Amino acid sequence: MKLRVLIKRLDSGLNLQVPAYQSEHAVGLDLPAAIESDLVIKPGVIVSIPCGFSIAIPSGYEGQIRPRSGLAMKGISIPNTPGTIDPDYRGEVSVLLINHGSQDFRVTRGMRVAQLVVLPVPRIEWQEVKELPSTGRGSGGFGHTGE
């Protein structure tokens, strides 16, 4: 199954590739850093990394921006994981990165900084009731099933 998503390059001077799958069965498209020069992220700091393109996600879908596992191993993540790109957003795709590590992290032009996954999202319709159906879990919340 393929979904057509429109993409517009915003900075052709950087010669960046459009987001791409890195293997035959990958579900995330790697997003490039569209920066002109290297950027250092200090420990505990959050920065916004532009990706050099805008997209038009079809109605009924969302774009999810997720961390790359290779960067997570270095303490680099996304503070609002997953970030959401709504179907009506037309601005530049950017990635918020945070350095959870103890050392500076260098971002270079074209570096793959995150992944984009596009998924269907149903619209919900609330149905207000007096009682919800019971379950074995009930109202047990955070950590109720043990470690």
Domain ranges of the chain: 23-120
What class is the 23-120 domain?
Answer: mainly beta
In angstroms, the CA 139 to CA 125 distance is 23
For residue 20, the 8-state DSSP code is B
In angstroms, the CA 117 to CA 85 distance is 10
Per-residue CA distances from 46 to 36, 98, 105, 111, 146 (Å): 19, 4, 11, 17, 33
Q: What is the pTM of this model?
A: 0.87
What are the pLDDT digits (tens) for 43-80?
Answer: 999 999 999 999 999 999 999 999 999 999 999 999 99
Q: Within a 10 A sphere around the Cβ of 65, how many other Cβ atoms? A: 23
